[in-house]
Amino acid sequence: DAGVTQSPTHLIKTRGQQVTLRCSPKSGHDTVSWYQQALGQGPQFIFQYYEEEERQRGNFPDRFSGHQFPNYSSELNVNALLLGDSALYLCASSLPAGGNTIYFGEGSWLTVV
């Protein structure tokens, strides 16, 4: 049973560019959440997708957007990248019927130069 998978694992972008990160949830999971983990910090909730819609959102600007596909996979898009967007981006999935028990992928390391 594959867990949560994310791609790419590492990438480097230039300030002002746009980036798309991808996530496939754990088998049987229909809810996907994205977190940002800056160096030395705990993960911070960006947003959550369920039934292809954004269900809730953390305190992140509109430059951060996402999408969920019918197969429950998800994308995180960040526009107009800033140096401060450099972080580990974590995808997490959870079972139908919600619940707070979530499972994380290995993350995508984004470096903005």
**Chain residues that interact with another protein, rule: CB under 8 A:** 3-4, 31, 33, 35, 40-45, 48, 55-56, 58, 90, 92, 94, 98-107
Residue 24, CA distances (Å) to 3, 13, 17, 42, 84 in order? 8, 22, 24, 22, 26
Q: Across the chain, how many H-helices and E-strands are there?
A: 0, 11
Min CB(18)–another protein separation in Å: 26
Structure tokens given for 57: 């959102």
- Residue number, 83 or 97, with CB nearest to another protein: 97
Min CB(33)–another protein separation in Å: 6
- Residue number, 48 or 81, with CB nearest to another protein: 48
